Amino acid sequence: MHRALLLGGAWLTLTGAEALVLGVLVTGLSVWLSLRLLPAKHPLALWRLAQHLPRFLAGSVSGGVDVARRAFSSDMRLNPGWLEISSDLPDGARVALGGELSLMPGTLSAGSEDGKLLVHVLDTSAGFDSAIPREVEDIAAIIGQTPKVRP
């Protein structure tokens, strides 16, 4: 189970290698609790998640650079506006998409309304929205789906 790997890894990092028996117990307990609170609905493809990581890191670096350039430039070139994104993603995945978009350049999610994700963009003329369909595809691939984006 993926959760056991993740939580066990976190335990090892936090405590070092001394408390292994207790670690196995605690990991088992926390996996049970996490499944109890949030039953697994979609098969999470961990390797696809790892595949997505470089693009995510690159995106958050360029997001930071973009926002830093705007913060230091004299006129900031801001032209904020709102978008609504509808997609076939199930609820949980849409939340993940919102969180992810919040770290990508120029976009920031504000939850969803009527199944449409509300996205705030820093500069409506800079074409930040063109990157969104790609993110939707990636999130869908991570939970093993192939949805289409409806503009």
Partner 1 sequence: MTIWLHILAIALLASLGGALWRVWRGPSQADRMMAAQLIGTGGVAVLMVLAALQDWTLLAVAFALATLAALAAVGFVKSESPDGAGDPEEAPPATELRGTVQDRTRNG
Partner 2 sequence: MADIATYLLTGLGLVFFIAGTVGLIRFPDQFSRLHALTKGDNLGLGFIALGVAFQTDTWAQVAMLVLIWGLALLAAGTVAPLVARAALTESRKP
Binding of partner 2 at residue 110 (CB under 8 A)? yes
Q: State which of residues 31, 85, 109, 139 lies at the interface with partner 2 (CB under 8 A).
A: 109
Binding of partner 2 at residue 95 (CB under 8 A)? yes
Binding of partner 2 at residue 20 (CB under 8 A)? no
| # of chain residues touching partner 1 (CB under 8 A) | 23
| One-letter amino acid of 76 | M
Q: State which of residues 81, 127, 144, 148 lies at the interface with partner 1 (CB under 8 A).
A: 81
Binding of partner 2 at residue 34 (CB under 8 A)? no
Binding of partner 2 at residue 115 (CB under 8 A)? no
Q: Which does 75 bind (CB under 5 to 8 A by kind): partner 1, partner 2, none?
A: none
Shortest CB 10 distance to partner 2, Å: 6
Q: Which does 105 bind (CB under 5 to 8 A by kind): partner 1, partner 2, none?
A: partner 2
What's the token pair of residue 147?
């949805």
Binding of partner 2 at residue 76 (CB under 8 A)? yes
d(CA 65, CA 84): 25
d(CA 44, CA 58): 22
What's the token pair of residue 7?
């939580």
Does residue 76 come out as left (phi exceeding 0), alpha (psi in the -120 to 50 range) or beta? left
Query: 114 by DSSP, 3-state: which?
Result: coil
Binding of partner 2 at residue 27 (CB under 8 A)? no
Q: Yes or no: say if 14 and 8 are a contact pair by the CB < 8 Å rule.
A: no
d(CA 93, CA 42): 9
